[in-house]
Chain A
Amino acid sequence: MLGSILSQYARSLAVFAAFLLMVLVESLGIREAIYPGLESFFNWMNQSSWLGVIGTTYGSVYATVEALHLLSMAVLGGTVLATDLRLLGIICKDVPSETLVTGTHKCFRWALLMAILTGIFCAAGVANKVYFMEVFWIKMLVLITGSCFMLFIKQPLLTSRPHAQINPWTIRLLAVTSMLIWFTVAATGRWIGFS
């Protein structure tokens, strides 16, 4: 009985468990306990790792990788806007939303991978600064949450059946949440740049 419920509602239980874990990490002070220990890792990233050394020594390399980071974020944002605005019925009404959701997802995954890889390099170059920025940690939290939301929640539901069979308010909620997630990732990214 319990096994049947667990297997039938595995995804929902995983969401509940992740939310509970975040509440526990925050309320039990685990985040504050872990945070000071990470400073030495960030200093090592900046001063000793080859990523940090290249990033701090060669300005042209850093600028090139940052340009690739921004381009991948632009592609990612483009796929998100195209998909979500279609789901909201604002653009591309003559294209079936199922086609757009499937077609843009591969591009989204490659852009996300590229953004993460180039983002690690960019963060290594300024690791000793971003460690102290609250907005950097907010970006990381939203990036991880958003990636999980897109890959394990939104896409599986939207590809599981024709969209006419899904409650329209569920689709609208997914689209608005997705746009706000990637807006936050982009905005906090620029905020880091201006801090």
Chain B
Amino acid sequence: MNENGKVDDKTIAALSSGAIILGGLLYYWLGEGQSAVELLELAYGSFKFFNNPLVF
């Protein structure tokens, strides 16, 4: 905010670009995580943290 109590240009630009970029990157990484889980399910039948058959 500036001295008049109004939200200034730099703050609006920071908030809008920050929200867009953060949202886009989270969407990307969550998508990558989801596809990794799907690949593991395809390979092993179910997703487990330890797919080693010796670990029960």
Contacts of A145 in B (CB 8 A): 21
Minimum Cβ distance to chain A for residue B7 (Å): 9
B10 CB–A CB distance under 8 Å: yes
B55 CB–A CB distance under 8 Å: no
Contacts of A157 in B (CB 8 A): 10-11, 13-14
Query: Would A11 and B13 be within 8 Å (CB), given that A184-B25, A184-B28 are in contact?
Result: yes
Question: Within residues 2 to 42 of chain B, which ones have a CB less than 8 A from any CB in chain A?
Answer: 9-22, 25-26, 28-29
Contact (Cβ within 8 A) A142 B25: yes
Minimum Cβ distance to chain B for residue A146 (Å): 8
Contact (Cβ within 8 A) A181 B21: yes
Query: Would A173 and B28 be within 8 Å (CB), given that A11-B9, A12-B9 are in contact?
Result: no
Per DSSP, chain B at the interface is: helix
B43 CB–A CB distance under 8 Å: no
Contact (Cβ within 8 A) A166 B11: yes
A24 CB–B CB distance under 8 Å: no
Name A152's closest neighbour in chain B (CB-CB). B13
Minimum Cβ distance to chain A for residue B4 (Å): 12
The contact size tier of chain A is 20 to 34
Contacts of B15 in A (CB 8 A): 170, 173
Contact (Cβ within 8 A) A15 B17: yes
Q: Once the chains are docked, how many angstroms separate the CA of A145 from the CA of B24?
A: 11
Per DSSP, chain A at the interface is: helix
Minimum Cβ distance to chain B for residue A137 (Å): 12
Name B10's closest neighbour in chain A (CB-CB). A157
B1 CB–A CB distance under 8 Å: yes
Contact (Cβ within 8 A) B25 A153: no
Q: Once the chains are docked, how many angstroms separate the CA of A142 from the CA of B11?
A: 21
Q: Once the chains are docked, how many angstroms separate the CA of A173 from the CA of B15?
A: 7
Give B residues with C-beta under 8 Å from A: 1, 9-22, 25-26, 28-29
Give A residues with C-beta under 8 Å from B: 8-12, 14-16, 19, 138, 142, 145-146, 149, 153-154, 156-157, 160, 165-167, 170, 173-174, 176-177, 180-181, 184
Given contacts A138-B28, A157-B11, list 14 more A-B pairs with CB under 8 A: A8-B9, A9-B12, A11-B13, A12-B16, A15-B13, A145-B21, A153-B18, A156-B10, A166-B11, A174-B14, A174-B18, A180-B25, A181-B21, A184-B29
